[in-house]
Amino acid sequence: MPAGVRVPAAIRRALVRYAIEARPRECCGFLVGRGPDVIAAIAMANVAATPETRYQVDDADHVAIRRVLRRLTPPVEIVGVYHSHPGGDAAPSPTDVAEAYYPDWLQVIVGLGGRRPQVRAFRIAKGRVRTVRLI
């Protein structure tokens, strides 16, 4: 695994903007790129039954995005997911840890509960959380 993941400042700013616009709901979406480089964020609808306290991407939309990405040249893939905590910190909740089904994916969380928005990244596998440095 790389020591850090490259997420350009413009993408980080977009994630914060998505989070603010979605408030009081959690925003969510996919991070697309190659290896340790995130090159795009794709905003998705949050279809969770309780969108103020959790997020869920529609399964059909997830499959559709994968189909589109397979047709692109140069090839890119989903390298992670992002979501927000409208009133909390940029740290994984117990639900985030329990529902981290893709251990290789980067998990980016935008926390809006403090004086300033925070953007932090993690890898979550088998219930273990590891902070990933954003570069």
Nearest to 37 by CA among 77, 64, 70: 77
Structure confidence at residue 1 (pLDDT): 46
Q: Where are the domains of the chain?
A: 4-134
Structure confidence at residue 2 (pLDDT): 52
What's this model's pTM, rounded to 2 decimal places? 0.95
Structure confidence at residue 13 (pLDDT): 98
CATH number 3.30.530.20 is the correct assignment for the domain at 4-134: no
- pLDDT averages per 10-residue partition of the chain, 135 residues: 84 98 97 96 96 95 96 95 97 96 96 96 97 96
Left (φ > 0), alpha (ψ -120 to 50) or beta: where does 53 sit? alpha
